[in-house]
Structure 1
């Protein structure tokens, strides 16, 4: 189940159609969803959707992908992800800690491990 959860989580970040993306978020996240990373905080599904849409606008043409295996125990999973061109090296590498409630995301805490240097082209 952790691998499937990670796949669905990243699929929502990659979905460019706003209606489809929102449907994925509504299906995957609990109503009291909370997302926190060094750049953004979101309370509720609509706010999570806004954070994802903003990231897509900031990084057009880049895709999120799993980098390694998913580790999990109890209701917690962690995964390393990459953001980059579909056929190229990552621009950003991060870690996500997923807290679930009955198989749905309730809290996600994100960390950025590698980001472009200031002024670098994205």
Structure 2
């Protein structure tokens, strides 16, 4: 790695895009705001790969994110760990999740394929407990 290595290439701000996805999609409890964020951050026909599920389309990604928040309770949040990195259209952001002021319940990373400045494919990778 060279000194002064840039975090973004190809005019993609991976950190902004992946942190926006975490905050505005996966931490957003308001359905309308979440749907608007998905429309802004994802391509028209995105695919999200979860460990046990493949989710297709903006509306389904929004629905799954909302159900996840409902399942984990009203104070659950995902928090980024460090800065997202990426190049050549592929970015990664590590994160942890749990109740506010509570113990960490899950850790993992989002890996995104970015096309035209938007997420086209998203892999949700969970760390072993």
TM-score (norm 2): 0.83
Alpha-carbon distance in 2 for matches of 1:32, 1:77 = 19
Determine helix, strand or coil for the equivalent of 1:49: helix
The Cα offsets for residues 36-84 of structure 1, whole Å up to 9 and x where unpaired, read as: 1113321110111111011111111200110122120110101111111
Alpha-carbon distance in 2 for matches of 1:19, 1:42 = 19
Matched with 1:104 is 118
Matched with 1:35 is 48
Match of 2:21 among 3, 6, 9: 9
Determine helix, strand or coil for the equivalent of 2:51: coil
Determine helix, strand or coil for the equivalent of 1:14: coil
Alpha-carbon distance in 1 for matches of 2:65, 2:55 = 10
Match of 1:71 among 61, 68, 85: 85
Please tell me whether Structure 1 or Structure 2 has the larger radius of gyration of its CA atoms.
2
Q: Bigger relative contact order, structure 1 or 2, given CA contacts below 8 A and separation 6+? A: 2
Alpha-carbon distance in 2 for matches of 1:98, 1:27 = 15
- The 1:37–1:67 alpha-carbon spacing in structure 2 relative to 1, beyond 3 Å, is same
TM-score (norm 1): 0.88
Give the unaligned 5+ runs of structure 1.
116-122
Q: How many residues align?
A: 115
Does the 8 Å CA contact 2:28/2:66 hold for their aligned counterparts?
no
Matched with 1:120 is none
Alpha-carbon distance in 2 for matches of 1:72, 1:22 = 25
